[in-house]
Structure 1
Amino acid sequence: MTAPRLLGAAAALALSALALSGCAGAPEATPEPTTSSAPTEVAAPEPTTSSKPAPTAAADPTCETLIPADVVADYESVGVTSQQSPMYIGSTEVKNGILCMWANFDQPASDSGQIYGWAKLSDAAAKDAQDELVDEGWVLEEADDAVYVTESPDTALVTDDDGYGMTYLFADGQVKVADTKQGLLLIEWPKG
């Protein structure tokens, strides 16, 4: 990907980003009835230091829950925020996927920023996506029960310590994407 294409992609992500939606917390459990006629004392819930509800296994990911909370806090402490947009692999939009661009959007456009994404993906859709990327010059590497597809080192603008640029990881009925292969390690979804 050339510099103008990456900048254009970053601009497109910034322009097409959707407003982040909050997720509702899980409903409180109803106390079990007791056989005693004495009144039951119920303890008040402990106050929490976070105003955000804790993610549950059934919740949909958000930019703030896709990566570790301490990384989110580090980003926010230096003015880096996220913009969410639909996930695309090549020309195909992955329904119910999430793509998050983390950058300082108050600064002039640049090629700095991090990208993290995740979606459920069937094996057939994963194979089609891999084929399209390879046809476009991306490099496929098979690993134990997983497939990595990385942009060509000849066109990657940003690379990790091992020389990998933007990389998709296909495994276990899902796909993850980050701006570098090492960046994939930060994606903590699905939460278990």
Structure 2
Amino acid sequence: MPAPRLLGTAAVLALSVLALTACGGSPEAAPEPTTSSAPTTVAPEPTTSTTPEPTADAAPTCATLIADSLVADYEKLGVTSQEQPLFIGSQQIDGGILCMWANFDQPAGDAGQIYGWAKLSDAESDAAQQELLAEGWVREEADDGGVYITESENTALVTDEEGYGMTYLFVAGQVKVADTKQGLLLIEWPKA
């Protein structure tokens, strides 16, 4: 092979290597990690409640019959509930609930709170009211059209500031009961 041709081939090879090197480039160094004083914000994962909200058709429990905040206050004090069927006089009310809230670890003399609720037909309501009145309970009209039936102050063990002991509030289709008339205000059933 003649010398000029060899030089030409060598020059083409050298230029090819140079071109490949220029096109391929040298590997770039990885960027230096930067530090920032600003905190990194990560959006929190959405949470869902495992406790379903009670509906108007649901049956109440001792924990849903009264306000969540009241339940929390009771629990802080070591007060728990015991659920029983609701009786009005001698009549057990189907689907009714009576809740006794107390510190059951304390001696029996420890005071507790009573809250109850039930659906009632007109006939059940009339029969229950008549039985209570026959036993000496006192009837009083409520401002909203309901009827209060309160135990006689002669037999009441616990009374509120106004002298009312255990009291039933009969309204259309339901009855509420508490150990005092003022206690009826704490019953939040049915939920709106």
TM exceeds 0.5?
A: yes
CA drift at 1:45: 8.1
Separation of aligned partners in 2, 1:146 and 1:102: 26
Letter in 1 for 2:55: T
Gaps of 5+ in 1: 1-43
What does residue 187 of structure 1 align with?
187
One-letter code aligned to 2:152 = S
How far residue 53 of structure 1 moved from its aligned partner, in angstroms, is 2.7
Secondary structure at 1:153's aligned position in 2? coil
Residue 156 (structure 2) aligns with: 156
Q: Which SS does the other structure have where 1:169 is aligned?
A: strand
- Per the TM alignment, residue 142 of structure 1 is displaced from its structure 2 partner at its CA by 1.4
Kindly report which structure 2 residues correspond to 1:70-109, keeping only aligned pairs within 5 A, or say none.
Answer: 70-109=69-108
Map 1:54-133; keep pairs closer than 5 Å.
54-110=53-109, 112-133=111-132
Counterparts of 1:123 and 1:171, CA distance in 2: 10
Aligned length in residues: 148
Deviates more, 1:105-114 or 1:80-89: 105-114
Q: With structure 1 as the length reference, what TM-score do the two structures score? A: 0.73
User: Structure 2 CA distance, aligned partners of 1:77 and 1:97?
Assistant: 27
Post-superposition Cα deviations, 1:160-179, rounded to whole Å, max 9, x if no partner, equal 11100000000021000000
Q: Distance in 2 between matches of 1:45 and 1:172?
A: 45
Q: Note the C-alpha offset of 1:55.
A: 1.7
Deviation string 1:120-151 (CA, Å, 9 cap, x unpaired) is: 00111111111100110100111231000000
Task: Flag as ranges the 4+ runs of structure 1 deviating above 6 A.
Answer: none
Q: List runs of 5+ in structure 2 lacking aligned partners.
A: 1-43
Which of the two has higher C-alpha Rg?
A: 2
1:48-69 Cα offsets, whole Å, 9 max, x none, are 5x65332222221000000000
Look up the equivalent residue of 1:153 and give its one-letter code.
E
Letter in 2 for 1:103: A
What CA distance in whole angstroms lies between the structure 2 residues aligned with 1:54 and 1:171?
24
Partners of 2:122 and 2:161 in 1: CA distance: 30
Q: TM-score, with normalisation over the residues of structure 2? A: 0.73
